[in-house]
Structure 1
Amino acid sequence: MSKLSLPKDKIKVLLLENVHPNAVALLRRTGYTNVTHLRTALSGDALKDAVADAHVLGIRSRTRVTADVLEAADKLMSIGCFSIGTDQVDLHAAKTRGIPVFNAPYSNTRSVAEMVLAEIICLLRGTFQKAWACHEGGWLKSAEGSHEVRGKTLGIVGYGHIGSQLSVLAEALGMRVIFHDIVEKLAIGNAASAGSLDALLERADVVSLHVPSSPLTRDMIGARELGLMKPGAFLINAARGEVVDIDALAHALRTGHLAGAAVDVFPLEPKGGNDTFDSPLRGLRNVILTPHVGGSTEEAQANIGTEVVEKLVKYSDNGSTTGAVNFVEVSLPEQEGVSRFLHIHKNVPGVLSAINDIFSSRDINIAGEYLRTDSDIGYVVVDVNKEIEAGMGIRRALQAVPGTIRTRFLM
C-alpha cells in the first residue's frame, strides 16, 4: 500500500448551489468527511478563492467553471455537475488540466418527461388561458379549441433517455409518436422514425425538443422550421435555450400560426431569484413559461445527488472514469495488496515506456496496467506489488516524465 496517497478525510469537497443532502450523506458514509456545502452559487474572485484548495467541486447549473477559474484551482482533481448538462464547465480546459467532469444524465429523466406530458395536456385543453381568466374574474366555459390528446401526433426531436421515456408515456395516453434523431435509434412501442426533422415538423400536432446544446442544435428551430409546422400546432422546449430562436417563436405565436407553446429553458436566464426574467414570450396567454424546472423534483434531485457522488467517489477511490463527459473512460477492478497510481499526461510518444522504466529500475513488479488515450491526453493506471514510500523518489520521477499533467497515488 502506498504511503503517498491523501487520506479521504483530508480530501476537501466543495458543494455549491444547495446540492441535495443525499450527496453530503453519501460522501460522509464513504469516508469523505471534509465537505463544505453552500446553498448559493459563487462567481468571480469568490469562486476562485473557494476552489483554490478544493480537491473535488460539485455544482449545479449557475456556477460557471471557466478556464480562468480552473487556473486558480491547482489541487482540483474532479468536478461533479449535479445536472444533465455540463455546458457550465469549460470541458476542454478541465481535460487538459487532468480533471474529469461527471454529470447525471439519467436521474431526472422521469421528472422532465412527466412535466412535458402535463404541458401537452394543458396546451391542448387551453388550461392556462382558462385558469388565467378565472384569476381575473372571467369564466371561459367553452369546449372551443379544447382537445383530447388521444389520437394526436407527438413529434419528439431527440430520442434519448428523456425523449424515449416521453414516447412511452404519450403512447399510453393514445398519442401517435414519431421521432427524429441524428443517431439511428431503436423505436420503443409503436413509435416510428419520421425520417427527417422537416418531415416531423410537417406532421406533428405537438413538437417536443429533447436535444443537447451543441453547434448542431443552436437555433435548430428558427423561422423556417416554425413555418413548416402545422397551423395550430404546439411547440415544447425542455431541452436547451439556444435550440429555439425565441423571437421567431414569439412571432409565430402572435400571428396565430402556432396555437401555443411551453418553454422551460431560455437563451438568457436570470442568475438568481432576485433577477428579472425577460423574454419576448412574456404576456402571451397561450404560452406556458417555467423557470428551468423540468428536472426539479425532490425525487430527481435526490437521485442526482446519489448518481454524481457515486461517480466522484469511484474515481477518487480507484481511478475509474466511467461516466466522465470530457475524459477517456476506464473502468477499473478493485485490487487488494497493491499500490495504485494514476498518471495523466499529454498524448505524446514515450510516456508509457518512461513510466515502466521508473519501476523496472527500482526492481518493482507491475501487477496491472491500464492505458486509454484520446487526441489530447493519455491516462495510465498502474498497480505495483510493493508499498511505495516517500524515499523512493517515485512521485518526483513520475512528475518529471515529459508531458505529465497530473500524478496521484490512491492506495
Structure 2
Amino acid sequence: MAPVNVDLLVLIPFPPHELARLEAVFNVTYAPEPQSRADAIASKGPQFRAVLTHGTAGLTAAEMDAMPKLEIISCFGVGYDRIDVQAAIARNIIVTHGPGTNTISVADHTLALMLASVRQIASQDAAVRSGQWHEARQNSPELTGMRLGLIGYGSIAREVARRCEAGFSMTVAYHSRRKATDTAHTYYESALALAEDSDVLVVAAPATPQTRHMINEAVLNALGPQGYLINIARGSLVETDALIAALNDGRIAGAGLDVVDGEPVVPAALLKAANLVITPHSAGRSPNAVDNMNTLALRNLNAHFTGKPVETPVPECAKVAAA
C-alpha cells in the first residue's frame, strides 16, 4: 500500500505495532483520550481528511464541522452507533465499518462469559484467593442442554449458535427484526417471548433507537431466577437499573457483560452484584480480530484516497451511493 499525503486523526487506542501500520501510510495524529482529541481537533482540524474511530468513540456533527476537509470516517469494527452518520452524509463524508472482522473473537468471548456466569467462575476464584477453599465450592448448573435465546441473528449470533449446538447440545431460538429464511432455529416475535423460553439470553443486536433498553424489567422477569443474561452487543440495549435490581433481587441467576451503558463508567451498584461477570468491552480484541479490523480500515482508506470505491460502507452510505 503506497503512502499518501493524507492527515489521519486516530481517536481510539492502538497497540504500537498496529499504530505503526497506519503511520507507514498516513500522517497520523494519535488522540485516543478526550483531552488529546479535543486539542487535536482544535489545533489541526482543518488539516484532517480522514478519521479512524469506532462505535464507542464515535464522531459528532460539531467535530465534523471543525474538520472542513474531512472526506472519510473509517469505523474500526462493526458497530458505528455513536458516529453521526446522517451528519456525515449531509457533508458528503463517507463512513465505513468492519463487518465480520471480529466475529470469531466475539463469539469465543460470548462462550467464555456464558461458562463463567453459569459455573460461577469469578466468585469461586475470588473466594479461593481469600482462603475459602471449601466455602468456594458450588453446585453450579451445567451449560449443556440449556436453551439459548439470541437477541439479533447476525454473523456473531450465528457463530455463538454453532458453538452452543455443537459443543453443548443447546437448543437455539432467536428474535430479530425479521425472520430468517435460511435456518431451522425457532423465531420469536418478541424479546419477551424469547426470554420466557430461554435459559441463557444473549444480546447480539445492533444499537439503534429501536433497540435501546429492549432488555427491560419485563424481559428480565421473563428470563427468570434460573436464567442468565449475556450482553456482547452494546450497553444501551439493556436497561441498567432494571438489571441491577434483577441481579440483586435474584430475579435472574446471573449476567455476563462485555458492555455497559455509559461505559467506561460502570455504576457502583452493578459492580456490587455477586452474580455478575464483567469484562471491559474486550470481546472483539483478539490479535487476529485487531489485525482484521486494521487491515480492512486501511483498505477502505486506501481505496478512497486512490479513487476507488470503499469496500464496506455503512448501509446508510451504501444506500445513498446506490440511489
Q: TM-score, normalised by structure 1?
A: 0.71
Compared CA separation, residues 311 and 191, structure 1 to 2 (3 A)? same
After TM superposition, give the deviation of residue 239 of structure 1 in Å: 0.9
Task: Report how many aligned residue pairs link the two structures.
Answer: 317
In structure 2, what is the Cα distance between the partners aligned to 1:95 and 1:108?
A: 26
Give the Å deviation of 1:196. 3.4
Residue 25 in structure 1 maps to residue 21 in structure 2: yes
Q: Is residue 226 of structure 2 the alignment partner of residue 232 of structure 1?
A: yes
One of 318, 321, 324 as aligned partner of 2:313? 324
Aligned-pair CA distance for 1:191: 3.1
Greater share of residues in helix: 2
What aligned pairs does 1:380-395 form with structure 2 within 5 A after superposition?
none
Alignment partners' CA distance in 2, 1:279 and 1:185: 39
Distance 2:54 2:132 in 1: 41
Distance 1:205 1:150, change over 3 A: same
Instruction: Tell me the secondary structure at the aligned position of residue 256 of structure 2.
Output: strand
Deviation at 1:11, TM superposition (A): 2.4
Is 1:9 the equivalent of 2:9?
Answer: no
Give yes or no for the alignment of 1:162 onto 2:156. Answer: yes
CA RMSD of aligned residues (A): 2.4
The structure that is strand-richer by fraction is: 1
Match for 2:272 among 257, 260, 283?
283
SS of equivalent residue, structure 1 residue 318 = coil
Q: Distance in 2 between matches of 1:217 and 1:119?
A: 22
Deviation at 1:111, TM superposition (A): 0.9
SS of aligned partner of 1:43: helix
Question: 1:333-386: per-residue Cα shift (whole Å, max 9, x none)?
Answer: xxxxxxxxxxxxxx9xxxxxxxxxxxxxxxxxxxxxxx743xxxxxxxxxxxxx
Paired position in structure 2 for 1:215: 209
TM-aligned CA deviation for residue 208 of structure 1: 0.5
Larger deviation, residues 300-309 vs 35-44 = 35-44
Give 2:170's match in structure 1, choosing from 156, 160, 175.
175
**Conserved in 2, the CA contact under 8 Å of 1:223 and 1:249?**
yes
Gaps of 5+ in 2: none
**Is residue 83 from structure 1 mapped to residue 77 from structure 2 by the alignment?**
yes
The 5-angstrom pairing of residues 106-185 of structure 1 reads 106-139=100-133, 140=135, 142-144=137-139, 146-173=140-167, 174-185=169-180
Q: Do 1:27 and 1:309's aligned partners in 2 also have CA atoms closer than 8 Å?
A: no
1:9 Cα deviation from its structure 2 partner? 3.0
Q: Does 1:307 align with 2:272?
A: no
- 1:80 offset after TM fit, Å? 0.6
Structure 1 consecutive aligned stretches of length 4 or more whose deviation exceeds 6 Å? none
- Partners of 1:43 and 1:113 lie apart in 2 by 31
Distance 1:183 1:27 in 2: 42
- Secondary structure of 1:288 counterpart: strand
- Which structure has the bigger radius of gyration? 1
- Paired residue type of 2:54: R
CA distance 1:23–1:312, shift in 2 (3 Å)? farther
More moved, 231-240 vs 83-92:
83-92
Gaps of 5+ in 1: 1-6, 271-275, 331-346, 348-370, 374-411
Can you list the C-alpha shifts for 1:105-163, whole angstroms capped at 9, x where unaligned?
2111111111110111122212222112112211235452x122111111111010111
Partner deviation per Cα, 1:176-230 (whole Å, 9 max, x = no partner): 1111111222455x63323432221111110000011111101101111111113
Q: How far off its partner does 1:259 sit?
A: 0.8
Match of 1:353 in 2: none
- Partners of 1:166 and 1:81 in 2: CA distance: 24
